[in-house]
């Protein structure tokens, strides 16, 4: 039997769990990392953002993990870790499609939105090929001498007096009062028992603690209602080629529109495309479940093809494409744990909940959650307070992102509204980046500008307004123009980069 005693047991070795293990070790506690699978393995959730990069850099610098710093920029990543596959991400590209019709570029770019996120390739963000990146992180864990058990099936996760971690090193400053945990299971058939003072659930959709502690999955307040079907592909044409063939002027684009999180949006859903440096492409349809419920009787391959048949220009992009792995297909993506932290446990953000990949917020949110949980573990006697604050702020962040994402779904087919409404995301993200860069960011502020009551109010008001316009079927272009002006006014305090400028014709260069 394998027996391990630790201060902090981390369940799940995605990049989130592995990074958490590295940081726990850096703050002088003894971590153990437990993973049900083994690396390298496929994982979805690949497009990083400036906020993610800045957060990862802050963690690497503040906790002396210099080997992680090169991952925070495309140029340094490519030079330092050429074998860890990544893709170039210069910004966020959106193109609006009508079912049954080819994409027709407009001279004024009315059916496009491009928002640059970096000045050049060297300083750009990245798409993370998660098989490689997560493997890299777990190798760092092993190199740090941290106990790591992969291929481990947890059968019982218990907390209580009998589960106290007798041989743990003990937390500094008031962290030893908890009852302790005993995690037992099997690793390749051999029994394993881990005792720890604190558990961090990094199992993502595995939701280990939610299940063990009987915590409800409460999506009653969540408005976004989507499902997805996705795979990785070879042979996907560059959208820029299809776009130019259709008469589009890519010279007006502030960056190569394929070197981006490329979104094809349409009434009732959207598609993501993320291109890696070896021309592998991650692509997935994300669909409004109310409009397009999952039909289990239709094989995923058939469903994939049926969506391509609806959108001729996207079909042209995929005409020679082949999936390199079976399709993954989900029913409702949204989940939200009713409790996120306890006296001696915490969930990482992707374990606590998930909304939708629109605007690529997951990696940044995960990193920001890790930053807050580690700060709480370091906080000694105010740990409980810090954990409670993390729970509260994460709930606010989920609520704000839900309004932003659901609001965008509402106006996918009123693209002129979407190009305005989406500015709340970009203004929030840019403001958070600026606060990090000029030293105003506090760890407790968390993700986006959700800590800021005025920002939350502005998003909430605009969300209600956009739903109203769409529901009233008000097709007047004057209402879109009024809405756009309202958005511009309400984000003034968060708009350091010239968003909402009609003269830019939806083409936003990096500022």
Ligand X SMILES: Cc1cc2nc3c(=O)[nH]c(=O)nc-3n(C[C@H](O)[C@H](O)[C@H](O)COP(=O)(O)OP(=O)(O)OC[C@H]3O[C@@H](n4cnc5c(N)ncnc54)[C@H](O)[C@@H]3O)c2cc1C
Instruction: Compute the distance between CA of residue 492 and CA of residue 470 in angstroms, rounded to an integer.
Output: 24
Report the residue closest to ligand X, judged by CB: 45
Least distance (Å) between residue 173 CB and ligand X: 27
Q: Which of residues 154 and 265 has its CB atom nearest to ligand X in the complex?
A: 154
Residue appearing with tokens 């029913």: 331
Burial letters 195-229, b for 16+ CB under 10 A, else e? bbbbbbbbbbebbbbbebeebeeebeebbbbbbbb
- For residue 127, count other CB atoms closer than 10 A to its CB: 26
Residue 91 in the binding site for ligand X (CB under 6 A): no
Residue appearing with tokens 């260069």: 509
Q: Which of residues 124 and 500 has its CB atom nearest to ligand X in the complex?
A: 124
Instruction: Compute the distance between CA of residue 319 and CA of residue 317 in angstroms, rounded to an integer.
Output: 6
Q: Which of residues 95 and 483 has its CB atom nearest to ligand X in the complex?
A: 95
> Which two structure tokens, joined as six digits, stand for 40?
């390298």
Least distance (Å) between residue 145 CB and ligand X: 21
Q: Which of residues 397 and 416 has its CB atom nearest to ligand X in the complex?
A: 397
The DSSP secondary structure of 124-165, one letter per residue, reads: -EEEE-HHHHHHHHHHHHHHTT-EEE-SEEEEEEEESGGG--
Instruction: Compute the distance between CA of residue 193 and CA of residue 184 in angstroms, rounded to an integer.
Output: 4
Contact string (CB under 6 A) for ligand X, positions 104-143, x = contact = ----------------------------------------
Q: What is the CA radius of gyration of the chain?
A: 23
Instruction: Compute the distance between CA of residue 185 and CA of residue 53 in angstroms, rounded to an integer.
Output: 36
Least distance (Å) between residue 194 CB and ligand X: 11
Residues in contact with 454: Cβ distance below 8 Å, sequence separation at least 6, in sequence order: 493
The DSSP call for residue 444 is G
Instruction: Compute the distance between CA of residue 96 and CA of residue 414 in angstroms, rounded to an integer.
Output: 9
- For residue 296, count other CB atoms closer than 10 A to its CB: 9
Residue 406 in the binding site for ligand X (CB under 6 A): no
Q: Which of 82, 169, 177 is nearest to 384 (CA)?
A: 177
Q: Which of residues 426 and 483 has its CB atom nearest to ligand X in the complex?
A: 426
Q: Which of residues 168 and 361 has its CB atom nearest to ligand X in the complex?
A: 361
Total residues contacting ligand X by CB under 6 A comes to: 34
Residue 93 in the binding site for ligand X (CB under 6 A): no
> Which two structure tokens, joined as six digits, stand for 177?
């009062």
Q: Which of residues 125 and 256 has its CB atom nearest to ligand X in the complex?
A: 125
> Prior bond to 60 cis, omega within 30?
no
Which residues in 252-291 contact ligand X (CB under 6 A)? 284
Residue 362 in the binding site for ligand X (CB under 6 A): yes
Residue 15 in the binding site for ligand X (CB under 6 A): yes
Which residues in 428-457 contact ligand X (CB under 6 A)? none
Stretch that binds ligand X, among 292-300, 358-366, 391-399, 408-416 (CB under 6 A): 358-366
| Neighbouring C-alpha atoms within 13 Å toward the C-beta of 336 | 21
Instruction: Compute the distance between CA of residue 187 and CA of residue 181 in angstroms, rounded to an integer.
Output: 18
Which residues in 292-351 contact ligand X (CB under 6 A)? 348, 350
What is the chain's length? 511
- Measured CA to CA in angstroms, residue 396 lies from 81, 216, 359, 387, 445 at distances of 36, 18, 17, 14, 11
Q: Which of 423, 428, 425 is nearest to 445 (CA)?
A: 428
Least distance (Å) between residue 440 CB and ligand X: 23
Quick one: which of 206, 268, 300, 312 contacts ligand X (CB under 6 A)? 206
Stretch that binds ligand X, among 6-14, 25-33, 249-257, 376-384 (CB under 6 A): 6-14
Residue 228 in the binding site for ligand X (CB under 6 A): yes
Quick one: which of 55, 118, 168, 203 contacts ligand X (CB under 6 A)? 203
Least distance (Å) between residue 13 CB and ligand X: 5
Least distance (Å) between residue 35 CB and ligand X: 5
Under DSSP, is residue 86 helix (H, G, I), strand (E, B) or coil?
strand
Least distance (Å) between residue 43 CB and ligand X: 5
Contact string (CB under 6 A) for ligand X, positions 23-62, x = contact = -----------xxxx-----xxxxx---------------
- Give the chain's count of helices (H) and strands (E): 15, 21
Least distance (Å) between residue 177 CB and ligand X: 27
Residue appearing with tokens 């001696």: 344
Q: Which of residues 121 and 328 has its CB atom nearest to ligand X in the complex?
A: 328
Least distance (Å) between residue 5 CB and ligand X: 19
Q: Which of 488, 415, 490, 484 is nearest to 456 (CA)?
A: 490
- For residue 275, count other CB atoms closer than 10 A to its CB: 24
Contact string (CB under 6 A) for ligand X, positions 363-402, x = contact = x--x------------------------------------
Under DSSP, is residue 403 helix (H, G, I), strand (E, B) or coil?
helix
Q: Which of residues 203 and 403 has its CB atom nearest to ligand X in the complex?
A: 203
H/E segment holding residue 410: helix 383-410
Q: Which of residues 203 and 432 has its CB atom nearest to ligand X in the complex?
A: 203
Stretch that binds ligand X, among 64-72, 200-208, 376-384, 408-416 (CB under 6 A): 200-208
Residue 202 in the binding site for ligand X (CB under 6 A): yes
Contact string (CB under 6 A) for ligand X, positions 138-157, x = contact = ----------------x---
Which positions touch ligand X (CB under 6 A)? 11-17, 34-37, 43-47, 154, 202-206, 208, 228, 284, 348, 350, 354, 357, 360-363, 366
């Amino acid at each position: 039997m394998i027996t391990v005693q630790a201060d902090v047991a981390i369940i799940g070795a995605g990049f989130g769990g592995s990074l958490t293990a590295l940081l726990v070790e850096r703050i002088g506690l003894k971590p153990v990392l437990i993973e049900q699978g083994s690396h390298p393995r496929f994982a979805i959730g690949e497009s990083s953002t400036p906020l993610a990069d800045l957060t990862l850099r802050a963690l690497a610098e503040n906790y002396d993990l210099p080997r992680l710093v090169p991952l925070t920029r495309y140029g340094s990543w490519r030079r330092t870790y050429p074998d860890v596959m990544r893709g170039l991400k210069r910004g966020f590209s959106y193109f609006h499609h009508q079912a049954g019709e080819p994409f027709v570029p407009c001279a004024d770019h009315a059916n496009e939105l491009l928002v640059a996120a970096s000045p050049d390739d060297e300083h750009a963000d990245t798409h993370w090929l998660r098989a490689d990146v997560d493997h890299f992180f777990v190798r760092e864990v092993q190199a740090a001498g941290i106990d790591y058990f992969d291929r481990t099936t947890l059968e019982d996760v218990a907390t209580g007096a009998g589960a106290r971690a007798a041989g743990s090193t003990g937390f500094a400053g008031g962290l030893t009062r908890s009852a302790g945990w005993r995690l037992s299971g099997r690793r390749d058939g051999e029994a394993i028992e881990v005792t720890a003072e604190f558990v961090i659930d990094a199992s993502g959709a595995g939701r280990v603690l939610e299940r063990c502690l009987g915590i409800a999955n409460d999506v009653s307040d969540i408005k976004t209602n989507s499902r997805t079907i996705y795979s990785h592909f070879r042979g996907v044409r560059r959208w820029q080629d299809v776009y130019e063939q259709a008469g589009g002027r890519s010279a007006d684009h502030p960056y190569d529109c394929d070197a981006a999180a490329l979104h094809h949006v349409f009434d009732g859903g959207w598609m993501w495309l993320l291109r890696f440096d070896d021309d592998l492409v991650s692509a997935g349809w994300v669909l409004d479940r109310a409009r397009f419920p999952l039909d289990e009787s239709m094989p995923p391959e058939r469903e994939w093809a049926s969506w391509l048949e609806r959108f001729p220009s996207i079909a042209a992009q995929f005409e020679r494409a082949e999936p390199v792995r079976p399709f993954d297909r989900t029913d409702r993506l949204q989940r939200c744990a009713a409790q996120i932290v306890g006296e001696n446990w915490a969930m990482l953000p992707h374990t606590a909940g998930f909304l939708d990949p629109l605007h690529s917020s997951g990696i940044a949110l995960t990193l920001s959650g890790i930053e807050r949980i580690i700060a709480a573990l370091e906080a000694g006697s105010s740990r409980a307070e810090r954990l409670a604050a993390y729970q509260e702020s994460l709930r606010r962040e989920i609520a704000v992102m839900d309004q932003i994402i659901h609001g965008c779904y509402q106006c996918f087919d009123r693209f002129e509204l979407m190009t305005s409404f989406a500015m709340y995301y970009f203004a929030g993200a840019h403001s958070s980046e600026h606060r990090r860069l000029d030293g105003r960011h506090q760890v407790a502020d968390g993700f986006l500008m959700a800590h800021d009551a005025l920002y939350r109010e502005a998003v909430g008001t605009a969300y209600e307004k956009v739903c109203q316009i769409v529901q009233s079927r008000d097709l007047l272009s004057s209402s879109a123009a009024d809405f756009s002006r309202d958005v511009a006014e309400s984000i003034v305090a968060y708009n350091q980069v010239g968003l909402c400028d009609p003269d830019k014709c939806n083409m936003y260069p990096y500022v």
